[in-house]
Amino acid sequence: MVTKYEQIRFLSEALFRRLTGVHKATFEHMKAVLSEQIAKNKKVLGRPSRLSEADQVLMMLEYNREYRTYFHIAQSYQVSEATAFRLITRAENLLLQSGEFSLPGKKALLQSSISYQVVLVDATETRIERPQKNKDATTRLKETTSSENTNDSG
C-alpha cells in the first residue's frame, strides 16, 4: 500500500507548502520530533500504528489546514474515525509537548520589541427587532374591518 506521504513527497517545495501549509524542512522536523516523542513516551505495549509518523503528521496538518471532519480524513487514510481522532490529537499533543512548535504566550508577545498591528472585525450576530405578533391587535383589526363592511351595506 502506497502511503499518502509517499505520494506527495516528490512535489516541488511550492506545491508541498500549498498542500500542507508548511515547508518540507519544517515537515521533516515535525516528523523527527514526533518520532522522538513517540519513542520517549512509549509505555503501552500494543499494536503499532498502521500509519507512519509522516502520515500521522500529514493527517494532523490536513485536519488543521482544511477543517475536514475526522470521518473524511479516516476514509482518506483507510482507518476508523476513532483512530483518526486519536492519532491527530496525539500528534498535536506530542508536538506541543516538545516545545518546538508552540507559539509564544500573550506576555511574551507583549514584552517583545516587535510591534503588531491588529485589525478587529465585528462579525457577531445582531438581533433584528421585528414587530411582535399580538393576537388582540390582529383580531381588533379584523373586527373593525368587518363592522365597517356591514355598515356600508346596510
Write out the three cell numbers for 130: 421585528
85 vs 116, more confident: 85
Distance from C-alpha of 57 to C-alpha of 95, rounded to nearest angstrom: 10
| Residue 92 pLDDT greater than 60, yes or no | yes
The C-alpha cell 383589526 sits at 141
Average pLDDT over residues 76-85: 89
Q: pTM of this prediction?
A: 0.62
Q: Do residues 106 and 72 touch, judged by C-beta distance below 8 A?
A: no
Distance from C-alpha of 102 to C-alpha of 94, rounded to nearest angstrom: 11
Residue 75 neighbours by CB distance under 10 Å = 14
- Output the pLDDT for position 136: 63
Helices (H), 2-154: 4-8, 13-20, 24-40, 53-66, 70-77, 81-98, 106-111, 135-153
| Residue 7 pLDDT greater than 70, yes or no | yes
